[in-house]
Amino acid sequence: MEWKDVRGPDDIIEMGRKKVGDVGKFFPLAIVAVALLILIGGSIYSIGPDEVGVIQRFGRYSHTTSPGLHVKLPFGIDKLTPVKIQRVFKEEFGMRTLRAGIKTQYSSRSFLDESLMLTGDLNILDVRWIVQFKVKDAIKLLFETRDPVDNVRDISEVVMRRLVGDYRVDEVLTIRREEINDLAQIEMQKILDSYKTGIQIVTVKLQDVNPPDEVKPAFNEVNEAKQEKERMINQAWEAYNKVIPRARGEAEKTIREAEGYRLDKVNRAKGEAERFLDTWAEYKKAPEITQKRLYLETMVEVLPRAKEKYIVDSEQTSILPLLNLGQIGGNQ
């Protein structure tokens, strides 16, 4: 029907009925198409590369899906819960990060209720630390525990307070920090595993450990006194290490010289004794010859030391005529 054939209102109404009839033929198809879109849209889901999908069917755990595209039952029959198992989460204690970056900004608010701790020698410290963790078992995380992050925070605070209470204040500030980090990680993991939380502790690290602001001046004075004490002890040990080894060396040298002198005297005495015994044995064999030999050997040793030598006739009754007393006196 064309507009030129329309003669009155009845014709217009008739034409409208025909148009609606034509559209009504496609309406069921449109409803089916929309239903299919809703069905497909509610059945297909995607799991990221760093997560797994936990499927619950009618509220009960059904299965776990890996990263990629998957299909589930629509209309609420299957419920999907994606869990990030590769991401490392961080919890802070005694501080809060407002903006991370090259210049990290921290909250100016104090969290002393979780950071003030008592050491083993009854000193108070402001201990700030972080805990990094990730999910190692998505099933336990969803169905075996409630509020897993609160569990991590509560357990971490309990373990850290106990460990800090086992050490002196100077140990927590300096030499025992790495040891405390390792022990806290081991203890936390043991407790979380016993609670079946499905959480793995990656690291525990002490950040800032300082005395509270109210006692910092007194604490600094104590540290300065300890440093002065250590300095004086080190100086004393330095002087000790200079004097004692030298004295020990001199004592050892004197002992060695004395031992050498003793050995020389003993060997000389043994040699003289052996020489005397040999001479005595020869003397018993030929007394006159041995006596003359000893006399001659003695003269050979003595005569070179004499300044004036006089040879006297054995038959001479007096030696005065042979002496030039005046010359001798003049030489003196």
State whether residue 20 is helix, strand or coil. Answer: helix
Q: Kindly report which listed range (140-149, 217-226, 262-271) carries the lowest average pLDDT score.
A: 217-226
Query: Does residue 3 carry a pLDDT above 50?
Result: no
> Is residue 274 situated within a structural domain?
no
> Is residue 168 situated within a structural domain?
yes
> Is residue 121 situated within a structural domain?
yes
Say if residue 79 is in the same domain as residue 97: no
Q: What is the extent of the structural domain holding 158?
A: 89-211
Say if residue 196 is in the same domain as residue 105: yes
Say if residue 98 is in the same domain as residue 76: no
> Is residue 251 situated within a structural domain?
no
Q: Decide which of 190 and 5 is more confident.
A: 190
**Residue 84 CB neighbour total at 10 angstroms:** 14
Where is the domain boundary, 180, 211, 242? Answer: 211
DSSP 167: S
Say if residue 109 is in the same domain as residue 196: yes
Average pLDDT, integer, range 25-54: 71
User: What CATH number is associated with residue 180?
Assistant: 3.30.479.30
Query: Does residue 137 carry a pLDDT above 90?
Result: yes
> Is residue 245 situated within a structural domain?
no
Give the angle subtended at the CA of 31 by the CAs of 30 and 35, to the nearest 5°: 115
Say if residue 140 is in the same domain as residue 62: no
Say if residue 55 is in the same domain as residue 122: no
> Is residue 108 situated within a structural domain?
yes
Residue 109 binned pLDDT confidence (cut-offs 50, 70, 90): confident
C-alpha radius of gyration, the chain, whole number: 56
Where is the domain boundary, 163, 186, 211? Answer: 211
Where is the domain boundary, 211, 246, 279? Answer: 211
Going through the chain in order, the beta strands assigned E by DSSP cover 44-47, 51-57, 60-65, 68-71, 78-84, 89-93, 97-99, 105-106, 116-118, 124-135, 199-210
Say if residue 157 is in the same domain as residue 62: no
Pairwise CA distance, residues 321 & 325, whole Å: 9
Say if residue 123 is in the same domain as residue 193: yes
- Asked if 156 contacts 93 with a C-beta cutoff of 8 angstroms, the reply is yes
pTM score of the predicted model: 0.59
Q: What's the structural domain count of the chain?
A: 2
> Is residue 239 situated within a structural domain?
no
